[in-house]
């Protein structure tokens, strides 16, 4: 599980640059940063495994290719942060704002994302085996080709998200939104969609919903998108 390593030192309320973080990393021990500012700092390719980031400002910070496995991120602000190709396996991200950030090609294997804002985030080509996401806003996010097979999806807002070719087979939706999302070539066999807002979805290929469970109200809504009236 995430953060099995105990941070060596806690650093609070400081503005840090790359040289400082790099020097701390050379100890080989994880550190805990509380209320620290790393805005626009280049931290690319640093080894920060097991570190804890609590209430930190990492807006527009560059974590490209960084080793961030087993890290914990709590209540951080990181709009436009760049995690392209970073290793975030087994990390835990809670209550963070990573709007418009890039996780393109990142490793999120075994990671946990809870109560976060990922509006406009880019998760294209991310490695997401055993990734769990709960109560998170993913509106307008780019998530093409991701697998949510057999997942229990709770409180996820996919409104306007790019979900092309994603796999939702046997998934269960609870308090979710797929409103106006791009669902081209998605698979929904065995999925329970009764807990999802399907507003704005166009049945361009009804076969992709074959075997899925929807409510009567949702059926009427989908048919209405085709211009048919249900009486």
CATH code of the domain covering residue 57:
2.160.20.80
User: pLDDT (tens digit, 9 = 90+) per residue, 131-144?
Assistant: 999 999 999 999 99
Looking at the domain assignment, is residue 87 inside a domain?
A: yes
Looking at the domain assignment, is residue 219 inside a domain?
A: no
Segment 95-121 shows an average pLDDT of 98
Burial readout 216-225 (b: 16 or more C-beta within 10 A, e: otherwise): eebeebbeee
Which residues, listed in sequence order, are joined to residue 53 by a DSSP beta bridge? 33, 73
pLDDT of res. 231: 65
**CA-CA distance, 78 to 101, in Å (whole number)?**
7
Q: Is the pLDDT of residue 80 over 50?
A: yes
Label the pairing between strands 9-12 and 72-74.
Answer: unpaired
Percent of the chain topping pLDDT 90: 83
Looking at the domain assignment, is residue 144 inside a domain?
A: no
- Total count of domains within the chain: 1
Looking at the domain assignment, is residue 91 inside a domain?
A: yes
Looking at the domain assignment, is residue 120 inside a domain?
A: no
Percent of the chain topping pLDDT 70: 93
Q: Is the pLDDT of residue 168 over 90?
A: yes
Q: How would residue 56 be classed by pLDDT, with cut points 50, 70 and 90?
A: very high
Q: Is the pLDDT of residue 85 over 80?
A: yes
pLDDT of res. 5: 61
Looking at the domain assignment, is residue 109 inside a domain?
A: no
Q: Is the pLDDT of residue 203 over 90?
A: no
pLDDT of res. 224: 74
Best-predicted range by mean pLDDT (5-9, 127-131, 199-203)? 127-131
Looking at the domain assignment, is residue 51 inside a domain?
A: yes
Considering the entire predicted model, what is its pTM? 0.91
pLDDT of res. 205: 59
Segment 18-45 shows an average pLDDT of 96
Q: Is the pLDDT of residue 55 over 60?
A: yes
Segment 85-94 shows an average pLDDT of 98
pLDDT of res. 2: 43
> Which pair of structure tokens corresponds to residue 91?
């990390």
Helix (H) / strand (E) containing 9: strand 9-12
Looking at the domain assignment, is residue 215 inside a domain?
A: no
pLDDT of res. 3: 43
Segment 108-136 shows an average pLDDT of 97
Domain holding 6, by residue range, is 1-100
Cα 6 from chain centroid (whole Å):
25
> Which pair of structure tokens corresponds to residue 119?
């509006």
């Amino acid at each position: 599980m995430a953060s099995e390593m105990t941070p060596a030192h806690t650093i609070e309320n400081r503005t840090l640059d790359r040289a400082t973080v790099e020097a701390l990393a050379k100890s080989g021990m994880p550190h805990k940063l509380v209320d620290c500012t790393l805005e626009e700092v280049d931290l690319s390719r640093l080894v920060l495994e097991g570190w804890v980031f609590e209430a930190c400002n990492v807006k527009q910070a560059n974590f490209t290719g960084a080793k961030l496995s087993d890290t914990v991120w709590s209540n951080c602000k990181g709009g436009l942060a760049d995690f392209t190709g970073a290793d975030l396996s087994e990390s835990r991200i809670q209550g963070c704002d990573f709007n418009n950030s890039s996780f393109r090609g990142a490793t999120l294997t075994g990671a946990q994302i809870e109560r976060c804002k990922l509006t406009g985030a880019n998760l294209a080509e991310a490695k997401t085996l055993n990734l769990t996401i709960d109560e998170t806003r993913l509106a307008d996010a780019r998530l093409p080709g991701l697998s949510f097979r057999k997942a229990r999806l709770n409180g996820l807002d996919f409104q306007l998200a790019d979900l092309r070719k994603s796999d939702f087979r046997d998934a269960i939706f609870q308090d979710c939104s797929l409103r106006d999302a791009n669902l081209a070539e998605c698979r929904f066999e065995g999925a329970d969609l009764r807990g999802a807002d399907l507003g704005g979805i166009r049945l361009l290929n009804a076969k992709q919903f074959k075997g899925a469970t929807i409510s009567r109200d949702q059926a009427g809504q989908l048919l209405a998108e085709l211009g048919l009236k249900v009486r």
